[in-house]
Amino acid sequence: MNQIKSLANEIFSRFGNVKRARGYFLYTEKGVRLTDMFLEGGKAILGWGHEGTGAFTIFKNALERGACGSFQTCFENQLHRAVCELLGLRTNFFFNDKNKALAAAKEISSAEPFFYFPWREENSKLDESDCVIFQPTLPWCEDFFVLAVKSTLNIEENIKKSLSENEVIIPPPLQAALARSIYDLIKQLQVREEKNWFAYDTVLTKYWTRNGPWLFPKVPKEKYEDFVSHCLECALVVSPVYEIPSIVPAGVDKGNFTKLKNSPFVF
């Protein structure tokens, strides 16, 4: 998306290259630490190299073993098991484009597909949905979308064949990392709750409506680009795309929002 590229360029022009990303922070060449509330649209919702993750260690280990070809490895089954652990027993297909996953879901079932986002209130509808679309929480530059279909749903063989032929081929090291990232999410789902996010409401809900950790802008769309720039001045990186929510960086000190509090954006 052009807005995402523009945000990267704006960060570079103001603060230089990002030298390191850790937790919910981006560390830049000019010595400025930015609080990341964009978090790759949710792929980094658990943080950049958050404490306890092993996703990139798993990736590195698989790569060093040479398991990076087009052949089948155990990592594919690990990935399917991880998805089923998160979403229930389902038949899973993988795509590199959300619209492709959506089109496939509509081909399988006439029921509206359910988009799963961790910690949102509407996740109570998950179990009753024929098709669930989910983007794994791995902060990787490429997109991967899981289409998880109820295992009890009968998929016609010609449709199943078409889906398999149109699936993205995920290299084994990435399969391993994606699987681990899902298990990381499952672990965090058991410990993160409302108290991890509402503590910041006094500042954030002036500009966003919050659903769990997800922040939907109250700022009018025509002023949103100026708001994104204003947040950068306050050392905050928010979603550059109006339709993609920003995210509460769980556990960071409230002091990271002091500049925004003291320099409010008028809209």
pLDDT (tens digit per residue) in 31-89: 999 999 999 999 999 998 755 567 888 888 888 988 888 888 889 999 999 999 999 99
* Strand ranges for 23-164 from DSSP E: 25-28, 33-36, 90-95, 114-116, 131-134, 145-150
Q: What is the pLDDT of residue 216?
A: 98
Q: Which residues contact 195 (CB under 8 A, 6 or more apart)?
A: none
- Residues in the chain predicted with pLDDT less than 70, given as ranges, are 1, 50-53
Please report the domains of the chain, with CATH numbers, ordered by start residue. 2-36+200-262 (3.90.1150.10), 55-189 (3.40.640.10)
Phi, psi at 4, each rounded to 5°: -70, -40
Residue type (1 letter), 117: F
pTM of structure: 0.91
